[in-house]
Structure 1
Amino acid sequence: MIETIVLGSCVSVQGAFVARRPDGRIVVRVGDRLYEGRPVNKAA
Structure 2
Amino acid sequence: MLRTISLGTCVSVQGIVVGKTADGKLMVRVDDKTFVGYPVTPSRAA
TM range (shorter): over 0.9
Residue aligning to 1:17: 17
Q: Which is greater in Rg? A: 2
Summarize deviations over 1:17-36 as a string: whole Å, max 9, x none.
Answer: 00011100000000000000
TM-score, L = length of structure 1: 0.93
Percent identity of paired positions between Structure 1 and Structure 2: 48
Any residues of structure 2 matched to 1:1-40 within 5 Å, and which?
1-40=1-40
Aligned residues: CA RMSD: 0.8
Determine the C-alpha separation between the residues in 2 that align with 1:18 and 1:42: 19
Uncovered stretches (5+) of structure 1, i.e. residues with no partner: none
Aligned residue pair count: 44
TM-score, L = length of structure 2: 0.89
Query: Which 4+ residue blocks in structure 1 deviate beyond 3 angstroms?
Result: none
